[in-house]
Structure 1
Amino acid sequence: MDSSTFFSQMALDLHDEPTAERTIERIAEYARMATSCDDAGIMLVHARNQVETAAATSQRVGESHNLQIMHDQGPCLDAIEGEPIYCSPDVANDDRWLKWGPAVAELGMRSALSLRLETRTRRYGSLNLYAERCNAFDVDDIAVGTIFVRHAAVALANAHNEEGLQVAIDARKLIGQAQGILMERYDLDADRAFEFLRRQSQAHNVKLRSVAAWVVENRSSPAANFEPDVAPSDEPAVGQPA
């Protein structure tokens, strides 16, 4: 399969994955096919100092990532914050990562290639490739990896956007359903029903969709009070008219 066909097929397959989580897993699987690596993994960054292994083609990939977090050094972490590409032909003797390199070499990994996973507007983390032999990655692998990671970042961004949109759509449906329950039970109009949900959300410091979910789940319990706490005295409980 030539490179254009490979990337076209990858784009279609990633687009068909139902969740962002599954998209990430497939990116790692495709990365192993695209380059001269034995294993691949993805580290995602959620906050300034919060990273996680989101995908790994083997247990030792996760162990390698954990070693980087423990020692606070390694190409995967550096690719997120430093240069966009880090390649190590021999991790056991790489002066850049004196603690991580020898430790990961004991796992049977001798070469590493890490590439930043990002779009123009968001930095997601790093794609990390490992090989059991030294000098595994050449300039062609780096070139392919650079192209690959761009496709992967776009697929990941689309998955996150679609998943976020679906969550928003589901939340609106849930809120509408809760409004309908309150309107029917207590003869409220739509505005008063929504205002009740909003006040409960603010009073208990929970998301509006959480209040709506509670109303829907407890629609057959007219005497119930909203959880996690009893509604304030100046607010009607869910089981009482607004």
Structure 2
Amino acid sequence: MDRLNHTAPTASVLPVEPAVAATRFAELAVELHDSGGVEETVEAVVEFALQALDCSYAGIALAVRGRRFEVPAVTDPVVAAIYESQVAGGKGPLVECMAGHVTVRVRDTAVEERWPEWAERVLGLGVRSVLDVPLTTAAGALGVLGLYSTEVDAFGADDEAIAHILARHASIAVATARHEASMAAAVDARKLVGQAMGILMERFDVDGDRAFAILKRYSQDTNTKLRDVAQQLIETRQLPR
């Protein structure tokens, strides 16, 4: 197993056909820009990975709250099984990559000694080599791009260089998609709260401040998100018990 410094690749290590690589990345950039959300974004990335890199499978695991992962896109159930085994056990190259923000390469799972239980399980799935690349932005770690091959030592310097560029594209696209989704959810929540406040103001003849205070109190007393309290009030005309 190799731990590799997360340094940006230079043009000199790009594939032999740079024009083709440049065209593919340009097409990917457009596709990511047009993606409708996080799931569509990561699906585009993993599909591109299969085309541009010498790998049998690919997947993306994204970090969520509580030091957990979610797996929004994989090219095969094999990848989901590999991810799930690491998430459950808390050990493996995926965890190492995420925690240390470093690229992790496993040349051969048959002789991997760092995570013997994980290696045995992955070898049983027919995977012989792994390349995990961190997805990061200036704000911090987002997740991991995982590349898997049924061949021993399948990932060389060129593959790593392309993977880093792909990870950079993916990081920006995922961060943008998440931000847009968060903003959309915030706008939606404000609309719901506003509608719920209107109902309370009309029913109980209170002003806006008092109506918001009522919603907030019910949210705290029932340990329910303010948005959900508002949604329930709008749908049922009743506050949570």
1:217 corresponds in structure 2 to: 235
Give the Cα separation in 2 of the matches to 1:149 and 1:176. Answer: 40
Q: Which moved more, 1:168-177 or 1:49-58?
A: 49-58
Pick one of 100, 119, 124 that aligns with 2:142. 124
Query: What amino acid maps onto 1:84 in structure 2?
Result: V
1:96 corresponds in structure 2 to: 114
1:116 offset after TM fit, Å? Answer: 0.8
1:19 corresponds in structure 2 to: 37
| Alpha-carbon contact 1:86-1:113 (below 8 Å) kept | yes
Q: May I ask how many residue pairs the two structures share in their alignment?
A: 223
1:71 offset after TM fit, Å? Answer: 4.8
The percentage of counterpart residues that share the same residue type is: 39
* Cα deviation 1:29-52 (Å, max 9, x = unaligned): 222222111100122232454234
Runs of 4+ in 1 over 4 A off after TM superposition: none
SS in 2 for 1:37: coil
Report 1 or 2 for greater relative contact order, CA contacts < 8 Å, sequence distance ≥ 6. Answer: 2
Unmatched 5+ residue regions in structure 2? Answer: 1-18
* Cα deviation 1:134-179 (Å, max 9, x = unaligned): 1211110000001110110110000110000000000011111122
SS in 2 for 1:92: coil
Unmatched 5+ residue regions in structure 1? Answer: 230-242
SS in 2 for 1:137: coil
Q: Which moved more, 1:16-25 or 1:153-162?
A: 16-25
Pick one of 144, 155, 167 that aligns with 1:149. 167
Give the Cα separation in 2 of the matches to 1:93 and 1:154. Answer: 35
1:65 offset after TM fit, Å? Answer: 1.7
Larger radius of gyration: 1
* Cα deviation 1:167-208 (Å, max 9, x = unaligned): 000001111112222333444433333233233223333222
Query: What amino acid maps onto 1:136 in structure 2?
Result: A
1:78 offset after TM fit, Å? Answer: 1.2
| Alpha-carbon contact 2:136-2:171 (below 8 Å) kept | yes
Give the Cα separation in 1 of the matches to 2:86 and 2:221. Answer: 43
RMSD of aligned C-alpha atoms?
2.1
Q: Which moved more, 1:204-213 or 1:139-148?
A: 204-213
TM-score normalised according to structure 1 size: 0.83
TM-score normalised according to structure 2 size: 0.83
Confirm whether residue 139 of structure 1 aligns to residue 139 of structure 2: no
SS in 1 for 2:155: coil
